[in-house]
Amino acid sequence: MDIQSIKQRFGIIGHAPALDRAIDVAMQVAPTDISVLISGESGVGKEAFPKIIHQLSPRKHGPFIAVNCGAIPEGTIDSELFGHEKGSFTGAHEARRGYFEVVNNGTIFLDEVAELPLLTQVRLLRVLESGEFIKVGSSKVLKTNVRVVAATNINLLEATATGKFREDLYYRLNTVPIYVPSLRDRQNDITMLFRKFSADFAERYRMPPLQLTAEAETILMNYRWPGNIRQLKNMAEQISVIESNRIISPDVIHKYLPSSKESNLPVLVSDIRKNEPDMSERDILYRLLFDMRKDMTDLKKIVLELIQNGQVSGSFHEENPHLMKSLYKDAGNHSLIKNHDPEEESTTDDHHQIIDSYEEDTTDYIEESLSIQKKEKDLIIRALQKYNGRRKKAAEELGISERTLYRKIKEYDINA
């Protein structure tokens, strides 16, 4: 069976080399019992690959089940996966078989595996290493012969560094990695997918299919698609139902992609994300502000040169007092007055007063910044004390992510 027949069988559309590579790896690993980790952004279609692996494996006649780990509450996830005995916890009125028992000799797909609690990760690691598990509320060791295929939309290696995911489990799951490319990395597949979705919706709702103009196709291909295939399909359905004109122009596309005109973000932001993926949105904002400040400094130097060369009118000083104040500060007042006339000496003291005032403002700003940092540190300490060091609860209380809290604890050297 070749890649094209796999695409037809499992409804995969596209010719991107990265997509073909992912399918090829899935076909090669399917006959084995090796654990597979599928990674990729949300909405790229990762759920098709566990089905490929199962259907091309010797387990194809056995059961297959997909479990969304992020949709199961933390208190019941162990019971769902491994089962429980009667009376093992409140509400356990009868014994229950877990997924690993039910899917014996089959394949289990753990979607959003990064959402598993740490204690559940320990149980899963035991299943992967020895095929053994224990039901909740039991002491009897049970055996299972299950192949595990996991998927995640986050970087698990980074999650291991922050303590959110066990490193040993990561390497056990990641025996064979499969990366599913994002839609923006499959630019030539976008219009093909849109036509397929519009044809499907046209048949479902009994209406003519949509047709894209060349300009509309260009917009779709250049959009970043943060929601990937799921977002594209959703948009195709909206347009199919709402628009009466079946010829889709750029104006129509813009209505359903309100941020499409902002798709080409400054390269600076993407470069920061690429080089330092751990940076929070606030860190990126600070970086942008610092770069803007550098640009302003360069601009001030140009203005200073113009002033020195006599290319700026005398009224410029009076009309732009705040700018002059900043310019004098940055120049140390030397470059502007080194060639001053005797008539201008009387203004030198005024220049120094401006600089002194600016320095006072800067001092106040630095003190205020330090005060904010101290308050932030105090709030983090209080939140950790309130929840007895439980970082997840403390992060929820503070309204930040657990990873950001972990970074702040290290930054402020907080004993937690």
Q: How far apart are CA 240 and CA 246, in angstroms?
A: 8
Contact 137, 89 (CB under 8 A): yes
β-bridge partners, 109: 66, 149
Q: How far apart are CA 383 and CA 400, in angstroms?
A: 12
Residue 305 has a pLDDT of: 66
Task: Report the chain's terminal Cα–Cα distance, integer Å.
Answer: 55
Residues 14, 66 within the same domain = yes
Residue 326 has a pLDDT of: 62
Confidence of residue 135 (pLDDT cuts 50, 70, 90): very high
CATH of the domain at 36: 3.40.50.300
Residues 241, 167 within the same domain = no
* Residue located via tokens 């295939």: 229
289 in a domain, yes or no? no
- The average pLDDT across 283-287 equals 64
Residue 89 has a pLDDT of: 85
Number of domains in the chain: 3
Kindly report the average pLDDT of the chain as a whole number: 83
- Count the neighbouring beta carbons within 10 Å of the beta carbon of residue 309: 8
294 in a domain, yes or no? no
Residues 175, 196 within the same domain = no
Characterize the bridge pairing of strands 141-143 and 132-134: antiparallel
DSSP-assigned letters across all residues of 253-297? HHHH-TTGGG-S--HHHHHHHHH-TT--HHHHHHHHHHHHHHHHH
- Count the neighbouring beta carbons within 10 Å of the beta carbon of residue 275: 8
pTM: 0.63
The size of the chain, in residues, is 416
307 in a domain, yes or no? no
165 in a domain, yes or no? yes
- Count the neighbouring beta carbons within 10 Å of the beta carbon of residue 378: 11
- Name, in order, each residue with C-beta under 8 angstroms of 186's C-beta and a sequence gap of 6 or more: 14, 16, 18, 19
Residue 405 has a pLDDT of: 84
Residue 338 has a pLDDT of: 43
Q: Which of 78-92, 244-258, 353-367, 375-389 bottoms out in mean pLDDT, i.e. has the lowest? A: 353-367
Closest CA to 60 of 72, 49, 69, 51: 51
pLDDT at position 294 over 80:
no
Residues 135, 15 within the same domain = yes
Residues 29, 9 within the same domain = yes
Residue 403 has a pLDDT of: 80
287 in a domain, yes or no? no
Residue ending a domain, among 126, 161, 181, is: 181
Residues 208, 241 within the same domain = yes
CATH of the domain at 257: 1.10.8.60
Residue ending a domain, among 148, 181, 214, is: 181
303 in a domain, yes or no? no
Residue 208 has a pLDDT of: 92
- The average pLDDT across 318-338 equals 55
Q: How far apart are CA 299 and CA 325, in angstroms?
A: 15
Provide the residue range defining the domain that includes 348.
313-411
Residues 153, 31 within the same domain = yes
365 in a domain, yes or no? yes
Say which amino acid occupies 171: Y
Residues 158, 221 within the same domain = no
Residues 96, 12 within the same domain = yes
Outline where DSSP puts E strands in 189-251. Answer: 211-212, 247-248
Q: How far apart are CA 312 and CA 318, in angstroms?
A: 12
Residue of higher predicted confidence among 10 and 404: 10
* Interval 249-276: pLDDT, tens: 999 999 998 664 444 444 445 554 555 5
Residue ending a domain, among 163, 181, 199, is: 181
Residues 248, 367 within the same domain = no
Residues 169, 192 within the same domain = no
* Interval 344-373: pLDDT, tens: 444 445 444 544 444 454 455 445 555 667
270 in a domain, yes or no? no
* Interval 2-26: pLDDT, tens: 999 999 999 999 999 999 999 999 9
Residues 9, 55 within the same domain = yes
Q: How far apart are CA 14 and CA 4, in angstroms?
A: 10
Closest CA to 336 of 291, 326, 409: 326
β-bridge partners, 65: 108
Residue 286 has a pLDDT of: 60
